[in-house]
């Protein structure tokens, strides 16, 4: 009987259990607050927040914005654009450090803003009702602009939205609170090749010191895909990340990927 109990205990340790705790297997040298984990689809958590990430495209003429599909973009604009989560300290400076470390091609960065608080605009003009109808208060919006042959003013808005609490509220709270992520569940709209290609873009975990030094570690989402899973469009990234005002997460978004979700599982929250 004792041997059977011991064997059962060993099997539980080796099996991906929905309720089992994630086991740390690697600490990336660049950041002592960053660990990769293995061994559980859903480690224990005390809170969970869901983000929706998407790119909206428009043309602009004399202050009038017209929505366009990704397929209608000029060929030169069919490139990747980044989104930034957290990094509240750098957000106060318009994400200046993150923008320097995640360059874009042809497109030009605009100033990030909080919809409902800041003046919603791009380098061309203020956003009109055609755009604001697609936004919610508390969304953090990173605009990009480009002028292509025509000339045609083109706008891309990377919209970061949280369904549980206005994202701007959560972002601001990290100025005085620390929380520990132990898993990110990425859910793509479907398992088409276009959307699955998003999983090839590494997730970057960056830290900026108060003196401007920036370091980052990368995570490959595809490396967490379980060959036995049935839903190819869902990946559980078992990464333990401490989030505070100097810590940010960044990833490039493919120009044609549909809106997708990040479910962030939080181990605990510490008020500083």
- CA-based R_g, the chain, Å: 20
Residue 9 confidence (pLDDT): 42
Entry pTM: 0.83
pLDDT at 199 over 90: yes
Take residue 66 and report the two structure tokens written for it.
Answer: 């017209």
Domain end residue (candidates: 162, 184, 211)? 162
- Band of the pLDDT at 268, cuts 50, 70, 90? confident
Contact between residue 57 and residue 73 where contact means Cβ atoms under 8 Å apart: yes
Residue 1 lies in a domain: no
pLDDT at 12 over 80: no
Residue 3 lies in a domain: no
Residue 43 confidence (pLDDT): 64
Residue 45 CA from chain centroid, whole number: 19
- Band of the pLDDT at 272, cuts 50, 70, 90? low
Domain end residue (candidates: 140, 162, 184)? 162
Residue 12 lies in a domain: no
Residue 91 lies in a domain: no
- Band of the pLDDT at 229, cuts 50, 70, 90? confident
- Band of the pLDDT at 146, cuts 50, 70, 90? very high
pLDDT at 249 over 60: yes
Residue 21 lies in a domain: yes
Of 115, 103, 122, the closest CA to residue 57 belongs to 122
DSSP sequence for 209-265: -TTS-EEEEEE-GGGG--TT-S-TTEEEE-EEEEE-TTEEEEEEE-TTPPPEEEEEE
Take residue 246 and report the two structure tokens written for it.
Answer: 């100097």
Give the residue with greater pLDDT, 140 vs 22.
140
How many domains are there within the chain? 2
What is the extent of the structural domain holding 112? 51-85+97-162
Q: Give residue-wise pLDDT tens across range 200-209.
A: 999 999 999 8
Take residue 165 and report the two structure tokens written for it.
Answer: 């609490």
Residue 96 confidence (pLDDT): 95
Q: Give residue-wise pLDDT tens across range 64-107.
A: 999 999 999 999 999 999 999 999 999 999 999 999 999 999 99
Of 104, 12, 122, 11, the closest CA to residue 56 belongs to 122
Residue 90 lies in a domain: no
- Residue holding tokens 């333990």? 240
64 DSSP β-pair partners? 61
């Amino acid at each position: 009987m004792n041997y059977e109990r011991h064997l059962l205990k060993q099997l539980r340790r080796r099996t991906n259990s929905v309720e089992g705790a994630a086991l740390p297997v690697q600490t990336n040298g660049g950041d002592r607050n960053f660990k990769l984990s293995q061994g559980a689809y859903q480690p224990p958590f005390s809170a969970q927040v869901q983000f929706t990430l998407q790119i909206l495209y428009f043309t602009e003429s004399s202050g009038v914005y017209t929505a366009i599909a990704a397929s209608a973009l000029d060929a030169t604009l069919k490139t990747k654009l980044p989104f930034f989560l957290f990094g509240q300290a750098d957000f106060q400076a318009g994400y200046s450090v993150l923008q320097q470390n995640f360059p874009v091609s042809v497109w030009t960065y605009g100033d990030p803003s909080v919809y409902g608080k800041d003046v919603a605009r791009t380098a061309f003009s203020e956003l009109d009702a055609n755009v604001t109808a697609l936004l919610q208060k508390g969304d953090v919006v990173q605009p990009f602009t480009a002028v292509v042959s025509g000339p045609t003013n083109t706008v891309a808005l990377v919209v970061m939205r949280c369904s549980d609490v206005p994202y701007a509220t959560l972002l601001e709270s990290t100025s005085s609170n620390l929380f520990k992520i132990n898993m990110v569940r990425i859910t793509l709209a479907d398992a088409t090749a276009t959307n699955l290609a998003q999983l090839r873009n590494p997730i970057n975990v960056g830290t900026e010191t108060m003196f401007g030094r920036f370091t980052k570690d990368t995570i490959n989402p595809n490396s967490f895909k379980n060959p036995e899973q049935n839903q190819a469009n869902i990946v559980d990234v078992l990464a333990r990340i401490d989030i505070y005002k100097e810590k940010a997460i960044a990833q490039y978004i493919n120009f044609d990927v549909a809106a997708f979700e990040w479910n962030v599982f939080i181990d605990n929250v510490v008020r500083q």
